[in-house]
Amino acid sequence: MSVITIDGHIGAGGPELGKRVARMFDFDYVDRIALPRTLTEGKQTAPVGLTDRFWAIVERAVSGFALGNAAGDPYFNVPEALLLPLTWDSDGPAEKHSETSASNSVDNLFDLGNTVLVHRAGVVEAGERTALKVGLFASWEDRVERIMKREGLKSASDAENIIERREKLQREYFGDVHGAAPDDHSLYDIIVDTSSENIAVASIKVARFAREALALQPA
């Protein structure tokens, strides 16, 4: 069983690249909220084809739920499976990170394998387990543009706020729980700059590296 983790900059193209690589190997795709098909009844949750706009709506709903604002949100009735503990991306009340609860939310994914984990701190959660650790990085301008497009935002400042908020939580989790930093290139097996090469090319590059490192075969 194999796991490919994708971390690094928020807005560097993790979901886009992760979905492409997952399709290449017929792996489950798991992002901030989505759960893999193999962990849910009927194996219908989080197929690769779901849009990022939908997950952005779900994320806002979960955030509102955590802050007590769910009643005013038309999307507040989020399926229970999607409310399972997240690794670090949450807008709930400020609480000290718990290594046990956070790690348990992804431990079984490593046990099952055949999964692409995007922004679930998989690079540090993997520990000694076998995983290909991919680090994606990009310029600030490209990241803002990608978040605007991905989540249907009209304002660059809104996208900047999203990136800053998520990366603050990301840095806190990496630091508090693992004593690491998500922008530490030494954590990763392969580094990709998506400002220098597009997602399609980068996906092929990662897939080739995965085939060699993990002895994978395309679907």
Digit-coded pLDDT (tens) for 94-131: 344 444 444 455 677 777 778 899 988 899 988 888 89
Q: Which residues of 67-79 are buried (b: 16+ CB within 10 A; e: fewer)?
A: eeebeebeeeebe
Pairing between β-strand 132-137 and β-strand 28-30 as defined by DSSP bridges = unpaired
How far from 130 is each of 37, 45, 72, 124, 201, CA to CA, in Å?
21, 25, 44, 12, 25
- Helix-strand-coil percent breakdown of the chain, rounded to 5? 50, 10, 40
Considering only CA atoms, which of 180, 170, 87, 184 is closest in space to residue 135?
184
Give the separation between CA 116 and CA 110, rounded to whole angstroms: 10
Q: State the fold for domain 3-51+107-214.
A: Rossmann fold (3.40.50)
Digit-coded pLDDT (tens) for 125-171: 888 888 999 999 999 999 999 999 988 899 999 999 999 988 998 99
Domain boundaries, the chain: 3-51+107-214
User: pTM of this prediction?
Assistant: 0.73
Residue 142 CB coordination number (10 Å): 17
Mean pLDDT, the chain, rounded, equals 75
